[in-house]
Amino acid sequence: MTVAVCLKWVTPVGSSDDRFAGVSAADQAALESALVWAELHHSDVVVVTVGPIGAERALRDALACGATRAVRIDGDPNATSIEIARAVVPHVASAALVWCGDYSLDRGSGSFPAHLADALDVEQALGLIDIGVDDANGRLRAVRRLDGGRREILSIAPRAVLSVEGSVARLRRAPLRALLDADRQAIDVHLVGLHGDELELVPYRPRARVLAAPAGSSALDRVRVLTDAGAAPTRAETVELTPDEAADRILDALRDWGYLT
């Protein structure tokens, strides 16, 4: 039995330097989850990525961690998710489970696992936050995040595409000997005519939060609302005291407010 892992190799926007490229924590969690499952069921692990020759660094890291075989599809990783899914299908068609991360370093749409499941015509379980062995038949017990803080427990049979969050697992650290051996292993390379879209890519920028305007009849009242983080406005008072009296006044106020006993 074979399981597969799909990694997305991402180069920073505006850069062609592979030294700053890599895969997401979710992809690493997918790899670790696949390795753990394969160890329990004595399975092979095939790792697949789409990208230039620099992407082989991620594949060799996966081989060092315990993957059995690595495949690089020589194409543009910025092609659409549907195109990439179709290109990946021949290399994962025989896998009992295909593991993916639920997001990539470029904060893409996260649609690739769904498109891959559709192209393979198998079940999908996406956005998993916890995975365990369900029974001796190789089924998985997984927990999926739902809206509103709810959770859904799934029992998944082999022949499925899974996507996991980065918190599911932490990728193991490969020993030095495995790293050296991985550098000598062969990587299957397949040339596919994938071309990225014509869209201009820009660094991710979170959407600004929409906050209500501070209420208050004066500028001072509005500043108090902002700086008090929503607390009720306090009464202002001007006093003239000696240093010792001022210190006592501050301590009394702190006791009244509950900061001191």
Residue ranges of domains in the chain: 2-191, 219-256
Least confident of 166-170, 199-203, 236-240: 199-203
pLDDT at residue 197, rounded to an integer: 55
- Asked whether residue 116 carries a pLDDT value surpassing 90, the answer given is yes
CA 116/CA 118 separation, integer angstroms: 5
Q: Which CATH superfamily hosts domain 2-191? A: HUPs (3.40.50.620)
User: Residue written as tokens 């709810």?
Assistant: 150
pLDDT at residue 14, rounded to an integer: 60
pLDDT at residue 202, rounded to an integer: 64
Q: What is the mean pLDDT of residues 185-201?
A: 74
Contact 104, 27 (CB under 8 A): yes
| Residue 260's pLDDT band (cuts 50, 70, 90) | confident
Nearest residue to 100 via CA among 119, 151, 13, 201: 119
Classified as helix, coil or strand, 53 is helix
- Asked whether residue 117 carries a pLDDT value surpassing 90, the answer given is yes
Q: What is the mean pLDDT of residues 2-16?
A: 83
| Residue 232's pLDDT band (cuts 50, 70, 90) | low
Q: Answer whether 0.85 is exceeded by the pTM.
A: no
- Asked whether residue 217 carries a pLDDT value surpassing 60, the answer given is yes
- Asked whether residue 45 carries a pLDDT value surpassing 90, the answer given is yes
- Asked whether residue 76 carries a pLDDT value surpassing 60, the answer given is yes
Q: What is the mean pLDDT of residues 103-125?
A: 88
Contact 134, 140 (CB under 8 A): yes
- Asked whether residue 200 carries a pLDDT value surpassing 60, the answer given is no
Q: What is the mean pLDDT of residues 51-71?
A: 93
Q: What is the pLDDT of residues 131-184, one digit of tens each?
A: 887 666 668 889 998 888 889 999 888 889 999 999 999 999 999 999 999 999
Higher pLDDT among residues 208 and 95, named by residue:
95
Nearest residue to 161 via CA among 137, 142, 133: 142
Cβ-proximal residues to 9 (8 Å cutoff; 6+ apart), any chain: 21, 22, 23, 49, 50, 51, 52, 54, 55, 58, 77
- Asked whether residue 204 carries a pLDDT value surpassing 70, the answer given is no
- Asked whether residue 58 carries a pLDDT value surpassing 90, the answer given is yes
pLDDT at residue 201, rounded to an integer: 57
pLDDT at residue 60, rounded to an integer: 95
Percent of the chain topping pLDDT 90: 47
pLDDT at residue 244, rounded to an integer: 92
- Asked whether residue 220 carries a pLDDT value surpassing 70, the answer given is yes
Mean pLDDT, the chain, rounded, equals 86
